[in-house]
Amino acid sequence: MAVLEREIIAPVPGAYNLENYDALRHTFSWEDAAKELSFTKTGKLNAAYETIDRHVDEGYGNKVALHYVNGDERRLLTFQAVKEKTDHYARVLKSHGVKKGDRVFVFLPKTPECYISILAIIKIGAIAGPLFEAFMEDAVKDRINDCKGTVLITDNEMVKRVPQKDIPSLHTILDVGEIENTTFDDKNDCDLVEWVDLDDGMLIHYTSGSTGKPKGVLHAHRVVTHHHASGKWVLDVKDEDVYWCTSHPGWVTGSVYGLFAPWLNRATIVIQGGRFKAENWYQLIHELQVTIWYSAPTAFRMLLSQGEVIKNFDLSSLRHVLSVGEPLNPEVIYWAWKQLGVRIHDTWWMTETGGHLIVNLPAETIKPGSMGRPFPGITVGILDEDGQELPRGSVGQLAVRTPWPGLMKEIWGSKDRFNAYFKYDGWYVSGDLAYQDEDDYVFFQSRDDDMINSAGERIGPFEVESKLIEHPAVAEAGVIGKPDPIRGEVVKAFITLRPGFSESKELLEEIRIFVRNNLAAHSAPREIEVLDELPKTVISGKILRRQLKELEINRTKSS
């Protein structure tokens, strides 16, 4: 691996906005970053205006804003067309009495109409609540009830999963087909945009906490500065790029880095409908000549486990690939380097943080296994139990100095849950454990509660999982600490096998020895169990270690 490691740290000359980011690290300020948006010049702020209308006003109306691909269907909309459609949706919402501050939800598949609905809501000063398309009745109900949503935009299929009678605040359900067909005699566009203050609510995303019901993370219009700056420097969007983020806007990555960040930077985006299929994804990259691709480790691992399929496609248009959401195994970075000739740039952030905080900037050195370094203007700390900063190399609570423009405004309806993030003065505490090395690179270890302690040795499940999937038989792996009377915990791995491999005692022992020999004896799983699939979060596909742990603990109890 030594040669490969040296190769992948070398950025491709001429491929990025900047060749040398050192200067940016020294000169960046959030104040300057905001100056690239129009509100700092005009004094008029609205995130939807900044995202779309501004480009039309600056003469880019004819630029392609989006390509939509779903099976055989193809559509293309310019910035002018997106603006007009957004205005139309905004007019319909206004005609139904939607006002500034109202919570309006969007429950649609990944279509242009989903993106346009979100923008229309924000344009008139209301707060947009994008819902993930796979939600069932309870998930829909709990979220809309929590912040007393009044209007929902959906379609005639998904509306079947909206239990309207259990959502008393919801007075209007709008079908996208009906919105499209609505006509107005008198179009008075002048007062469609609601100019707002930096701290006025814009977007609400629900995310799971470690306990209790999902939290409604509210972001204010000020967040666009963070979206724009990270889109420019991390996504590295340039005018000629075709940018594809594979997430649905119901997950924060799909809204911030699927919609706002690229469009604030005037990118042509790809919106792809339909289920995951390796061939279709590769075909899409080839057909639309995608240059920037943002996805998640789960998706990359799925592609990796499909093996040779990748060889049937010309993916040479890709110049920049990024990952988010869960630990990015070095194995995946090596795979991409071999198969695509590009590095995968990991990025770390959370729903609550509004945008990227730890990143691998385009032309900087990557250390496989690390999430990268703090974004310019962001200061990271690794804290002990008392909120004191730990020395480099020590594992502790990953925290970030407050404030920054993307930091959430509130957790809807719960001061306590909000305050829990700020238990140490001047810090936002993420709930992740990590360490930072001498070169500022941050290495994710686990969520605060996933760390394994076996015979006094701290073992990060991610490290073990990464090693496991380097074995040719292993497709995916979730590793937990199984309670053990002598060692406290022992390492237990749940894995899925790649096609062509079947479970046998010999194979599992071989995998165990592979980890033992390649990582460390104490990290080698004492037990390996093969599952058909691993439990994952519905929206972002993160492996649910906690659920694996519950499964294991319940078994021990009942045996």
Residue from 350, 408, 452, 464 binding ligand 6R9 (CB under 6 A): 350
Residue 472 near residue 498 (C-beta atoms within 8 A) = yes
What is residue 395's DSSP assignment? -
Q: Which of 282, 285, 287, 228 is nearest to 257 (CA)?
A: 228
Assess 207 for contact with ligand 6R9 (CB under 6 A).
yes
Which part of the chain contacts ligand 6R9 (CB under 6 A), choosing from 172-180, 337-345, 360-368, 428-436? 428-436
Question: Rounded CA gap, 350 and 500, in Å?
Answer: 37
In the complex, minimum distance from the CB of residue 507 to ligand 6R9, in angstroms, rounded to a whole number: 29
* Shorter beta-carbon distance to ligand 6R9: residue 231 or 327: 327
DSSP string, 340-383: HS--EEEEE--GGG-S-SEE--TTSPP-TT--BEEPTT--EEEE
User: Can residue 522 be called a binding residue for ligand 6R9 (CB under 6 A)?
Assistant: no
Which amino acid type is present at position 391? Answer: P
Tell me the residue nearest to ligand 6R9 as measured from the CB: 351
537 by Cβ neighbours in 10 Å (0-12 / 13-18 / 19+) ranks as middle
Sequence-distant (≥ 6) Cβ neighbours of residue 4 within 8 angstroms: 334, 337, 338
| Residue 430 interacting with ligand 6R9 (CB under 6 A) | yes
Residue bearing tokens 């496989």: 368
Q: Which of 370, 303, 365 is nearest to 330 (CA)?
A: 370
By rule CB under 6 A, what string of x and - marks binding of each residue 271-310 to ligand 6R9?
----------------------------------------
Residue closest to 89 by CA, chosen among 139, 34, 52: 52
Can residue 447 be called a binding residue for ligand 6R9 (CB under 6 A)? yes
Q: How far is the CB of 256 from ligand 6R9 (least distance, A)?
A: 8
Task: Report whether 535 contacts 544 (CB < 8 A).
Answer: yes
Taking the complex as a whole, how short is the minimal distance between the CB of residue 219 and ligand 6R9, in angstroms?
A: 12
Instruction: State which of residues 111, 150, 255, 351 lies at the interface with ligand 6R9 (CB under 6 A).
Output: 351
User: By CB under 6 A, is residue 473 in contact with ligand 6R9?
Assistant: no
Judged by CB under 6 A, the stretch of 122-130, 324-332, 379-387, 418-426 that binds ligand 6R9 is 324-332
Nearer to ligand 6R9, 73 or 437 (CB): 437
293, 337, 348, 421: which one contacts ligand 6R9 (CB under 6 A)? 348
Tell which one of 241, 432, 470, 552 touches ligand 6R9 (CB under 6 A).
432
With respect to ligand 6R9, which residue has the nearer C-beta, 262 or 325?
325
Strands 396-401 and 358-359: unpaired
Residue 448 DSSP SS3 = coil
Chain center to CA of 195? 28
Non-local (6+) Cβ contacts of 548 within 8 A are 478, 480, 494, 534, 535
Choosing from 492, 540, 545, 548, the residue that interacts with ligand 6R9 (CB under 6 A) is 540
Q: Number of residues in contact with ligand 6R9, rule: CB under 6 A?
A: 20
439 vs 527, which CB is nearer to ligand 6R9?
A: 439
Q: Residues near 444 by Cβ (< 8 Å), separated by ≥ 6?
A: 327, 348, 371, 398, 432, 433, 434, 460, 462
Determine, following the binding rule CB under 6 A, whether residue 325 of this chain makes contact with ligand 6R9: yes
Q: Which is nearer to ligand 6R9, 83 or 542 (CB)?
A: 542
Strand-strand pairing, 215-220 and 452-454: unpaired
Q: What are the two backbone dihedrals, phi and then psi, of residue 219, each rounded to the nearest 5 degrees?
A: -110, 145
Please pick, from the candidates 51, 111, 253, 291, the single residue that binds ligand 6R9 as defined by CB under 6 A.
Answer: 253
Contact between 378 and ligand 6R9 per CB under 6 A: no
Judged by CB under 6 A, the residue of 201, 250, 258, 327 near ligand 6R9 is 327
Q: CA-to-CA distance for 116 and 96, rounded, in angstroms?
A: 17
Instruction: Enumerate residues 6+ apart whose C-beta is below 8 A from 207.
Output: 214, 215, 217, 252, 350, 351, 352
Query: Of 232-240, 276-284, 424-432, 497-505, which segment contacts ligand 6R9 by CB under 6 A?
Result: 424-432
Specify the stretch interacting with ligand 6R9 by CB under 6 A; choose among 94-102, 180-188, 263-271, 425-433: 425-433
Q: Which of 132, 349, 494, 514 binds ligand 6R9 (CB under 6 A)?
A: 349
- Which x/- pattern over 383-422 shows residues binding ligand 6R9 (rule: CB under 6 A)? ----------------------------------------
Give the separation between CA 370 and CA 352, rounded to whole angstroms.
21
Quick one: 77 or 434, whose CB is closer to ligand 6R9?
434
Q: Which residues bind ligand 6R9 (CB under 6 A)?
A: 207, 252-253, 324-327, 346-351, 371, 430-432, 444, 447, 540
